[in-house]
Amino acid sequence: MLDIVKKTLLLGLGVASLTKEKAEKIVDELVKHGEVASKDRPKVINELLQRSEEEKKKFVSKVRETVKTVVNEMGLPGKEDIDELKKKINELEKTIKKKKLQ
b (16+ CB within 10 A) / e for 31-62? beeeebeeeeeeebbeebbeebeebeeebeeb
Nearest-angstrom CA–CA distance, 51 and 18: 10
Query: Do the domain assignments include residue 91?
Result: no
Percent of the chain topping pLDDT 70: 83
| Mean predicted lDDT score pLDDT of the chain | 83
Query: Do the domain assignments include residue 14?
Result: yes
**pLDDT tens digits, 14-32:** 655 678 888 888 889 888 9
At 91 the pLDDT is 97
DSSP 36: S
Domain that holds residue 22: 2-76
Number of domains, the chain: 1
At 68 the pLDDT is 86
pTM above 0.85, yes or no: no
Query: Do the domain assignments include residue 60?
Result: yes
Query: Do the domain assignments include residue 90?
Result: no
Nearest-angstrom CA–CA distance, 67 and 59: 12
Using 50, 70 and 90 to split pLDDT, how confident is the model at 58? confident
